[in-house]
Amino acid sequence: MSENKLATYLAENPRMTGVLFTLTLLLSQAGNVAARCSGTAGP
């Protein structure tokens, strides 16, 4: 039911689709940086 509401909302607001896509990309990049930084502490 909520998936249908979300699809309807995104169909009515196409700009929000771009916002969600950009947010997803930024979060995936932040995850990659966090994974690299949490590795070894020195050379």
Quote the pTM value.
0.62
Q: What's the pLDDT score for residue 10? A: 93
Angle at 26 between CA 35 and CA 2, to 5 degrees: 110
Tell me the two tokens of residue 36: 């690299």
Do 15 and 9 contact (CB within 8 A), yes or no? no
Whether residue 24 is predicted with pLDDT greater than 70 in this model: the reply is yes
Neighbours of 42 (CB within 10 A): 3
Do 8 and 17 contact (CB within 8 A), yes or no? no
Can you count the helices (H) and strands (E) in the chain? 2, 0
| Per-residue pLDDT tens digits for 2-21 | 889 999 999 999 999 999 99
Whether residue 40 is predicted with pLDDT greater than 70 in this model: the reply is no
